[in-house]
Amino acid sequence: MPNFAPSFGKETLRTTAVTQQFEQNMDYVDFIHLNVLEKKVLNNSEVSVQYLCSKPCIINLEAVASSEFRTGVPVYRRRWKDEKNLYVSRTRQVHLKFPSIMVYRDDYIIRNSIIVHSVILYAWISHKSVSSYDVEQNEDYQDAVAKNYTFLEAVPPFERPYKDHKVCLQWGADYLWMLQANRIPQCPHESDGVQILNFIYASSGEKTGIMKKFEQFENRELETVRQHQIDYPMFTVSIWLYLLHHCEKDLCGILYFIDPKEMYSTPAVFLNEEGYVHIQMHLMRGDDLAVKTSFSLPLKQWFRLDLSFKGGQIEVSTVGKNLKRHHHQSFTFREDFYYDDTAGYFVLGGSGYVNGIEAFFGPVKYYRLNVLETEQISNPLHDKETVEQIELYYERCMDIQEIVYEYRYIVRQGEKALRNCYYENYYLELIYKYGEKSKCDAFMWGKELREKYRTLFKLLQEMDFSAPDVLEDGSDTVVEVGRRIFEKVAKGLSSADGLSNMGSSVPLLVDSSCCGYHKASYFLAVIFETGLSVSVDHTKGLLYSLVGAQGNERLAVMNLGYKHYQGINNYPLDLELSYAYYSNIAIKTSLDQHTIKGEQAFVETIRLMDDELLKAQTKENGDVFMWLKHEATRGNAAAQQRLAQMLFWGQQGVAKNPEAAIEWYAKGAIETEDPVLIYDYAIVLFKGQGVKKNTKLALELMKKAAAKGLPQAVNGLGWYYHNFKRDYRKAAEHWLIAEKLGNPDASYNLGVLYLDGIYPGVPGRNQTVAARYFYKAAQGGHIEGTLRCSLYYITGNMEDFPRDPEKAVIWAKHIAEKNGYLGHVIRKALNAYLELSWHEALLHYILAAETGIEVSQSNLAHICEERPDLARKYLATDCVWRYYNFSVSQVNAPSFAYLKMGDFYYYGYQNQSKDLELSVRMYAQAALEGDSQGFFNLALVIEEGNSIPSYILDHLEIDQALHSSNTSLLQELYYRCWNNSNQESISPCSLALLYFYMRVFWNNILQSTLIYFMGTFLLSILVAFAVQYFQALSAHNSPGSRSEPSSDEHSSSGNSNEDATRLVQQDESTFSNNLSQQQSDPQNPLVTG
């Protein structure tokens, strides 16, 4: 009797265990076993079938496969009969054959192989008549006398072999197949759970918010489910909130969807004045229905608002920090909602349609296809430290505000009683009027509270609460107290050695911030973020940035926008969040420019390295201003125009004085007949800015200026007909003329006509044409036009404006950085620098630089280079590295900043390591900006034996044929250096190019090393002598020229003749060594002073 092989199949209840039979007369039991050598789905897989039949039998094999689309599909069958070998164990080898799409990879013939989930190989024995062998026996397995099965492992499609089809493809078909033969497509890993917001967002209650757009799923199955759920939505939204106030008026936006027609769609979740949640849904039949919760949302505590939507049912819950449910409510509609989250965009907070809530948004999670219970939602509060800091801040501030309000009330009540006593006593009344003001000496507060807020009580005692600028409204009083505290601290910090007193100033700034004066909040944010005379504390820096932004402090909002735009200082890169902040200030910039009140100044790009611009700065008693005033008095129209602009906008160091500016506008308009002055005076008369409105005179002047061909005056006439006469036909006529003359205001105004649907002869609104006009206006620098376009880019709702969040941020940032309040801080910094008030200059340049404006960043880095002792003493961060690094990350970075960073990477800067590739990239970027020094430094890099990566040379558009030859590269770089420098005088580039040609010439003619050395040496002496002669001659001819800066003021952006002189004096054989030894020389073009 043969030995039995072990079975790899699974025995079933109907399978009897096999025992060896030694005697022929014993009862025999039928059995079948499977032994698969390689348990994978492969063609020609060998299976060993061992069986025993007690009667004539039929042995059956069947393989059944299941895929993602079908189950239980027979893919292999084999049957044979055995009538003779009874009572004997037999073994038969079978080779399995499967369909090609199961076992081979896709190729030119097999186009769609399938993914197999499972394959089961069944085996069974039937005692049926052999005559029934040819009859189908589909149900034999259940009635089998013995049966067994085993699993076969499916092979992934891209691990399968190619099939040899034994056919010869045409050459073209074979080539096309070979191009894609080894490509393995990656299936996108997608989930319906989307984290809309990861970081805390400070919502100030303005008409700006976070805008998110969702695309269709890449995964076919998920997208199919989404489309099926359009008329029966199933989704969940989870939002963390720290609510400061309920809605002041009507409804405030929490989360809502805007469709392509700019209408609210499903869902629209708002907060009302009483704190209840208002939920509006768009139904399948086309109309809208809304419900309101019976519970209100809590104030000044973190909670999670969970909303789930299923068909026509809504579930609303609130959950605390401990994840315990506080409230729950269900709503059921009789009709299902319509919901397509790809046809429009989501908004968190405010938008052009509704104000946002006054709150902090925490993490926001959106499940696009699933309805989840509260316990199933995964949306934790990540930054628990900041969350707790926000809670502690507002708890402390409640105490401070209560103290200030009660203290003021006590003092006012005391004054009222004294006035009653002094009413009939003239002497006592004089004492009250001119004597020392009342203050509260006997406190009603406990000793512990007085000790805790000792500095606050001391300041309150020093304040005069009878002053007329303190309003009756208690809340305004608190803000006024905060302002006074802040001004006292700011004055101290701006004084000589003021930054040394930062330790005592910080508690006062905290009190000012708590009183609601959020300039103090921004000061604190910058102080802790940069380590300005304190230890760096990023948590506190973030806290006060968020608090200041929530309180609508413009610089704090810009600071957050910038940090999220760049993804720096532990702030995540989030373009939609950045846009929410920047668009807020961009809108305010447009409004601020139409008001002459507040601490505003024109934002001017004045670099501290530009001596000419610095000399042009003046004051009302300065030489430039006095000269302009003299010329303006004599009737010089250009002087009158410039003087009026300086006074109206506060430019060039002159204090803002709209009244004086209008006098010059009027004088120029009447005396000189200058069209620009006439137009400017007409505008102020129309708007009544600093002067009484006079529409009649304004119209006469506007027509006069338009008759002189001034484009903005023609536009002004259109504006008059639009706003005063409602004559849209005449308005459009004038705007079309002005638009042809290149006036961006006219382009914008034409866009407004199309957007409002009032363009003459054109029925209805036309957003597409309007957007084109807005874009044209934006290209001309129009603020509102730029804002419109940035909105189109962030929403992606316009056909001509594909969604581009980065471009939206750049455009909004550009407008925000024109804000007058930022300009005021920059002007204070510049004035302090010119007056050598270093502490004040450092403080205000840091405040401006942290908002992300490039000119202040590079100016601050320059100050830190100029006064390294000041930077080391008061700043915990590396000022020079930090702000030059910030500068080169901007889209409008100056070339000298690239050169500086190139030097830092080339030589290494303090604790920063060297990085040749980054250095070359910086020099190349400077070269692309048209700076000859960039080309010069690239050439020196090659001269030192280094190579420049090919992709950088391609970026510089240098012919690839030159890449392999250093001589050719040097010639090209020196030529471009010379071509981008001043070609009318001797420059380092011209000398370097001359010396290069001489070296090449000398190498081609002279072979002797000794003669070459002596000739080069003599030639170098002659060239050096010639350069010195020209310098002496130039100095003799122009005695009034500006002196060269001292050695510690040199930078790589300064092109000096010494650069080339030194280059000429170096022998070619020692050129590389000499250059490396001169790294400490401040006049080396690659060294930063």
**What mean pLDDT do residues 147-157 have?**
89
Q: Identify the three-state secondary structure at position 516.
A: coil
- Given phi > 0 = left and psi -120 to 50 = alpha, else beta, which region is 478? alpha
Quickly count: other Cβ atoms within 10 Å of residue 402's Cβ: 12
Name which residue leads in pLDDT, 534 or 142.
Answer: 534
Q: Of all helices (H) and strands (E), which one includes residue 1041?
A: none
531, pLDDT greater than 80? yes
Q: Which of 280, 269, 229, 223 is nearest to 364 (CA)?
A: 269
- Per-residue model confidence as pLDDT tens digits over 127-145: 876 556 655 545 577 788 9
Show the tokens assigned to 1073: 């060594």
1059, pLDDT greater than 70? no
Contacts of 57 (CB under 8 A, 6+ apart): 30, 81, 82, 83, 125, 126, 127, 128, 145
pTM score: 0.76
**What mean pLDDT do residues 316-327 have?**
93
List Cα–Cα distances, 1015 to 472, 474, 688, 1010, 1062, in angstroms.
90, 88, 78, 8, 17
Confidence at residue 1005, expressed as pLDDT on a 0 to 100 scale = 66
Q: Residue 1006 — pLDDT band, cuts 50, 70, 90?
A: low
Considering only 91-95, 163-167, 504-508, 985-989, which range has the smallest mean pLDDT? 985-989
Report how far residue 283's alpha carbon sits from residue 289's, in angstroms, rounded to the nearest whole number. Answer: 7
791, pLDDT greater than 50? yes
Q: Which of 461, 465, 464, 456 is nearest to 485 (CA)?
A: 456
Q: Identify the three-state secondary structure at position 268.
A: strand
Report how far residue 441's alpha carbon sits from residue 639's, in angstroms, rounded to the nearest whole number. Answer: 58
Quickly count: other Cβ atoms within 10 Å of residue 491's Cβ: 11
Considering only 268-272, 315-319, 634-638, 778-782, which range has the smallest mean pLDDT? 634-638
**182 phi/psi in degrees, rounded to 5:** -105, 15
**333 phi/psi in degrees, rounded to 5:** -100, 150
Q: Are 814 and 591 in contact (CB under 8 A)?
A: no
**470 phi/psi in degrees, rounded to 5:** -90, 115
Residue positions counted in the chain: 1089
**1034 phi/psi in degrees, rounded to 5:** -65, -40
List Cα–Cα distances, 664 to 415, 594, 644, 705, in angstroms.
47, 19, 6, 17
Strand partners, 45: 96
Report how far residue 312's alpha carbon sits from residue 220's, in angstroms, rounded to the nearest whole number. Answer: 26
Report how far residue 749's alpha carbon sits from residue 751's, in angstroms, rounded to the nearest whole number. Answer: 5
Q: Which amino acid is at 911?
A: N
Report how far residue 335's alpha carbon sits from residue 283's, in angstroms, rounded to the nearest whole number. Answer: 7
Contacts of 204 (CB under 8 A, 6+ apart): 356, 358, 549, 550, 551, 552, 557, 584
Report how far residue 433's alpha carbon sits from residue 213's, in angstroms, rounded to the nearest whole number. Answer: 64
328, pLDDT greater than 50? yes
**What mean pLDDT do residues 539-565 have?**
96
Q: Which of 297-311, 622-636, 1026-1040 has the highest mean pLDDT?
A: 297-311
Report how far residue 694's alpha carbon sits from residue 678's, in angstroms, rounded to the nearest whole number. Answer: 14
Q: Of all helices (H) and strands (E), which one includes residue 215?
A: none
Confidence at residue 856, expressed as pLDDT on a 0 to 100 scale = 95
**What mean pLDDT do residues 280-293 have?**
90
Report how far residue 1027's alpha carbon sits from residue 1011's, in angstroms, rounded to the nearest whole number. Answer: 24
Q: Residue 168 — pLDDT band, cuts 50, 70, 90?
A: confident
**What mean pLDDT do residues 35-60 have?**
90
Report how far residue 576's alpha carbon sits from residue 590's, in angstroms, rounded to the nearest whole number. Answer: 21
Report how far residue 532's alpha carbon sits from residue 850's, in angstroms, rounded to the nearest whole number. Answer: 12
**What mean pLDDT do residues 741-750 have?**
94
Contacts of 1015 (CB under 8 A, 6+ apart): 1002, 1006
Considering only 174-183, 845-854, 956-965, 1071-1080, which range has the smallest mean pLDDT? 1071-1080
Q: Which of 743, 671, 681 is nearest to 709 (CA)?
A: 743
Q: Which of 362, 382, 321 is nearest to 200 (CA)?
A: 362
Q: Are 223 and 368 in contact (CB under 8 A)?
A: no
Strand partners, 271: 252, 277
Q: Residue 331 — pLDDT band, cuts 50, 70, 90?
A: very high
Q: Of all helices (H) and strands (E), which one includes residue 145?
A: none
Q: Which of 594, 596, 613, 599 is nearest to 652 (CA)?
A: 613
Q: What is the DSSP letter of 55?
A: S
Q: Residue 11 — pLDDT band, cuts 50, 70, 90?
A: very low
Q: What percent of the chain has pLDDT over 90?
A: 47
Name which residue leads in pLDDT, 356 or 449.
Answer: 356
Q: What percent of the chain has pLDDT over 70?
A: 82
6, pLDDT greater than 50? no
- Per-residue model confidence as pLDDT tens digits over 890-911: 988 999 999 999 999 999 888 7
Report how far residue 647's alpha carbon sits from residue 61's, in angstroms, rounded to the nearest whole number. Answer: 99
Q: Residue 62 — pLDDT band, cuts 50, 70, 90?
A: very high
65, pLDDT greater than 60? yes
Q: Of all helices (H) and strands (E), which one includes residue 72?
A: none
Average pLDDT, the chain: 82
**Diameter of the chain by CA atoms?**
143
